[in-house]
């Protein structure tokens, strides 16, 4: 069963060539709630805690610095794209378990892995461990990823199976949890 996204859309025809333009009016509430969640949860997990753990360590310099910053940037982009585009705009919900999406999000990065947001947050933390050569942040990243894995296995997957039924079962069977399938 395919459910249309909770976006209100309008087609506008403009110009001498009668070009059709799709105007999307997003669910403002879902975007606002996702913003609040992002500041408090990933902001704390991937920002505040690693900042405290780095213990005033100076960042590495040169190419290594830019490589670590690139990893952090990729992680931030993955999280923001998935949370705002995937969950808030397409799914009509938030990454927070108390305000979940109204539809099963299987577009965007969710076509490749079922949990791209956790991967994004892990990259942000791992990039900081690299940037500051911090064993404390690296250990924290491993603990965060283990916690995320257990949360996914014991809470998220059973909840999604209950909420979406066969649709989730098909998705679960065809898309890996963490590591994308590479077709050669």
- Does 15 reside within a domain? no
CA distance 118 to 141: 11
Bridge-partner residues for 19, per DSSP?
A: 14
- Asked whether residue 183 is domain-assigned, the answer is no
Q: What is the pLDDT of residues 6-50, one digit of tens each?
A: 455 555 555 566 665 544 455 788 899 999 999 999 999 999 999
Q: What is the pLDDT of residues 83-117, one digit of tens each?
A: 999 999 888 889 998 899 888 999 999 999 999 99
Residue 22 is inside which H or E element, if any?
A: strand 19-25
Domain of 85 in residue numbering reads as: 27-174
pLDDT in tens, 65-74: 999 999 999 9
Measured in Å, how far apart are the chain's first and last C-alpha atoms? 31
Identify whether 1 is part of a domain. no
Domain-embedded: residue 97: yes
Domain count, the chain: 1
Burial 17-40 (b: 16+ CB within 10 A, else e): eeeeeeeeebbeebeebbeebbee
Task: Specify whether the backbone of 133 is left (phi greater than 0), alpha (psi in -120 to 50) or beta.
Answer: left
On whether residue 179 sits in a domain, the answer given is no
Whole-number pLDDT of residue 23: 46
Residue 12, in any domain of the structure: no
Whose structure tokens read 């956790």? 118
Domain assignment present for 180: no
Q: What is the mean pLDDT of the chain?
A: 88
């Amino acid at each position: 069963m395919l459910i249309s996204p909770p976006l209100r859309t309008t087609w506008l025809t403009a110009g001498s060539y009668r070009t059709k333009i799709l105007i999307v009016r997003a669910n403002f509430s879902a975007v606002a709630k996702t913003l609040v969640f992002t500041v408090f949860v990933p902001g704390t997990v991937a920002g505040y805690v690693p900042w405290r753990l780095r213990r005033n360590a100076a960042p590495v310099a040169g190419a290594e610095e830019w490589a670590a910053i690139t990893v952090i940037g990729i992680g931030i982009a993955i999280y923001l794209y998935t949370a705002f585009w995937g969950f808030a705009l397409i799914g009509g919900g938030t990454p927070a378990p108390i305000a979940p999406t109204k539809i099963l999000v299987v577009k965007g990065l969710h076509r490749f892995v079922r949990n791209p947001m956790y991967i994004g947050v892990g990259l942000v933390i791992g990039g900081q461990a690299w940037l500051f050569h911090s064993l404390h942040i690296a250990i924290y990243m491993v603990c965060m990823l283990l916690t995320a894995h257990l949360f996914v296995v014991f809470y998220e997957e059973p909840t999604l199976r209950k909420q979406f039924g066969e649709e989730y079962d098909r998705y679960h069977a065809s898309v890996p949890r963490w590591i994308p399938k590479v077709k050669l």
